[in-house]
A and B are shown apart, each in its own frame.
Chain A
Amino acid sequence: MEAIRIQNLTKIYKDTVAVDSLELTIHTGELFALLGINGAGKTTTIKMLACLSKPTAGDAYVMGKSVSKESQLVKSMIGISPQETAVAPNLTVLENLELMCGVYAYDQVDRKERIAELTRQFHLEPILTKRAGKLSGGWQRRLSIAMALVGQPQILFLDEPTLGLDVIARSELWDTIRALKGNVTIILTTHYMEEAENLSDRIGIMKNGKLIVQGTAEELKRAAGKEIFEEAFVALVKGEIV
């Protein structure tokens, strides 16, 4: 089943084409990674899919709902963990989760259940009463993803979730993301090739706002004639193959 169908999606800022006639389908339960160098259009694509930016042309359908015309419905089905850590720094971890429960209009009973569930899932017990702004980068990212899941989204956008994290924190976050696979459709943007290769079901590579190639990590390596995924990415982006 289709979770996201993108048709001719285009975003133009003044004289810059950030996303150019994007066509893509992402299936339910899939983890799809969007790769590309800086300015390739990954974050702009995510912003349009999350109804944070209106497309200049084309449209995208999230669980069959148009991001242009039914944004309120789309917003009730998605969760986003933005590139920078998106937590309220002066609130405790528990208060951050409560804020999101309130935003999704949970009643008192459901709120408690949801917070307990996420606390277990993300191992947040030891930090529940700590202020979010005082946490390490790894914990903040984990909280950020937990907050994105409060509304029980069908689609989760993870924009550079492990950017700036140390090796251990990144590995722990990968485990967290792996545990989510299958339950929710995940669209991940990253600059880390090993992250895309390890976590994704399929990978799309963007360049100058266009999706130049898509497939599994193995398919992309074969297409590029390389054994190492990073080398395949470089070859594909440099246009040595396509």
Chain B
Amino acid sequence: MRVIPFAKRTLKEILRDPLTLFFGLGFPCVLILLLSAIQVNIPVELFAIELLAPGMTVFGLAFMTLFSASLIAKDRESALFLRLYATPMRAVDFILGYTLPMLPIALAQSVFCFVLGAFLGMQVTVNMLGGLLCLLPVSLFFIGMGLLFGSILNQKQVGGICGALLTNLTAWLSGIWFDLDLVGGTFKKVAEVLPFYHGVKLVQAVIAGQFNGIGIHLAWVLGYVVVSITIAVVLFLRQMRKQ
């Protein structure tokens, strides 16, 4: 039961940071609006709202890594952590306390993007619920990465790695901004072995009601979820011992 008060604290710390609201909820919505405006003037198949909204939702989830890692890195450098380590809290309380509150934030962000997508013409169907369900493992992957990076990087490094590198990797290698076939070669092969592309394809397909072939995308994403969370837990426990 120690998880709940600590999770509440995580939620408050994140939601009281104005940057979270901007990047978490505002930024993906701004991008959807901007690219939809471009789409009106210069139609591009990739920016059709049925593809754009799920794609930007996945991109927006990359910020979950930044929020989570920033908080953990900040905590690790603070005396509050020392205080909490000297209480009966166990490692599992810390891990769940950091990860569980990220799920409602991720869900809220996804719902915001879908509602905006619907407002801009995306067909409202029951498949949207399926899309939200498929965003769950994608969210877990990014949250796991937050725990991982937060356990090994300091605050400044988190800003660079999670704020700049990971978000850019998500953008470039997911096929949201440009068709990966246009680049092809090694770039496409690399994109196909990373989870970003599969996350986007999975959600886009489910929303479109095209369930054939989603298994492979789901498998890639779930695989990355298991790997990222396992490594994150190992690294978190290691830093706890070192602390």
With A75-B86, A91-B9, A99-B9 in contact, do A105 and B1 touch (Cβ < 8 Å)? yes
Contact call B78/A52, Cβ cutoff below 8 A = no
In the complex, per-residue mask of B75-88: 1 if CB is within 8 Å of any chain A CB, else 0: 00011101111111
Total number of A residues with any Cβ neighbor in B under 8 Å: 32
Q: Number of contacts between A and B (CB, 8 Å)?
A: 71
Residues of chain B touching chain A, judged by Cβ–Cβ distance below 8 Å, are 1-2, 4-6, 8-9, 12-13, 16-17, 78-80, 82-89, 243
Q: Does A183 count as interface, using CB distance less than 8 angstroms?
A: no
Q: Which residue of B lies closest to A132 (CB)?
A: B80
Task: Knowing A88-B13, A99-B9, A102-B2 are in contact, say whether A82-B82 is a contact too (CB < 8 A).
Answer: yes
26 A-B pairs in the complex with CB atoms less than 8 angstroms apart: A51-B86, A52-B85, A52-B86, A75-B87, A75-B88, A76-B88, A80-B86, A81-B83, A82-B79, A82-B83, A86-B78, A86-B79, A86-B83, A88-B80, A90-B12, A90-B13, A90-B17, A95-B12, A99-B8, A101-B5, A102-B6, A103-B6, A103-B87, A103-B88, A147-B83, A151-B87
- Per-residue contact bits, chain A 53-87, to B (CB 8 Å; 1 contact, 0 not): 00000000000000000001001101111111111
Q: Could you say which of B5, B6, B17, B82 contacts A86, with CB atoms under 8 Å apart? A: B82
B198 smallest CB distance to A (angstroms): 35
- In the complex, the chain A residue whose C-beta lies closest to that of B12 is A91
Chain B residues with Cβ below 8 Å from A30 are none
Contact flag A84-B12 (CB < 8 Å), given A52-B86, A75-B88, A102-B5: no
Q: Which of A52, A75, A99, A148 contacts B6 (CB 8 A)?
A: A99
> Which residues of B are found within 8 Å of A78, using beta-carbon distances?
86
Q: A84-B79, A86-B78, A90-B12 are in contact. Are A103 and B86 (CB under 8 A)?
A: no
What distance in Å separates the Cβ of B217 from its nearest Cβ neighbour in chain A? Answer: 38
Q: Does A104 contact B (CB under 8 A)?
A: yes
Majority SS of interface residues in chain B?
A: helix
Q: 16 additional contacts, CB 8 Å, given A80-B83, A101-B5?
A: A51-B86, A52-B82, A52-B86, A72-B88, A75-B86, A79-B86, A80-B82, A84-B78, A86-B79, A86-B80, A87-B80, A88-B13, A91-B13, A95-B12, A99-B8, A102-B2
**Contact in complex: B87, A104 (CB < 8 Å):** yes
In the complex, which residues of chain B have a beta carbon less than 8 angstroms from the beta carbon of A220? none
| B84 proximity list for chain A (CB < 8 A) | 103
- Please measure, in the bound complex, the distance between the C-alpha atom of A83 and the C-alpha atom of B243, giving whole angstroms: 15
Let me know if B13 and A104 touch, CB within 8 A: no
- A residues near B13, Cβ cutoff 8 Å: 88, 90-91
The 3 lowest CB-CB distance pairs between A and B, nearest first, are A102-B5, A86-B79, A84-B79
Smallest CB gap from B2: residue in A:
A103
* A158 on the B face (CB < 8 A): no
Q: Complex formed: what's the CA distance from A104 to B80 in Å?
A: 15
Chain A residues near B1 (CB-CB < 8 A): 102, 105
Residues of the B chain whose Cβ atoms lie less than 8 Å from the Cβ of A75: 86-88
Q: Does A98 contact B (CB under 8 A)?
A: yes
A78 to B88, CA, bound (A): 10
A15 vs chain B, min Cβ distance (A): 18
Q: How far is the CA of A90 from the CA of B78 in the complex (A)?
A: 13
CA distance A51 to B243 in the complex (A): 11
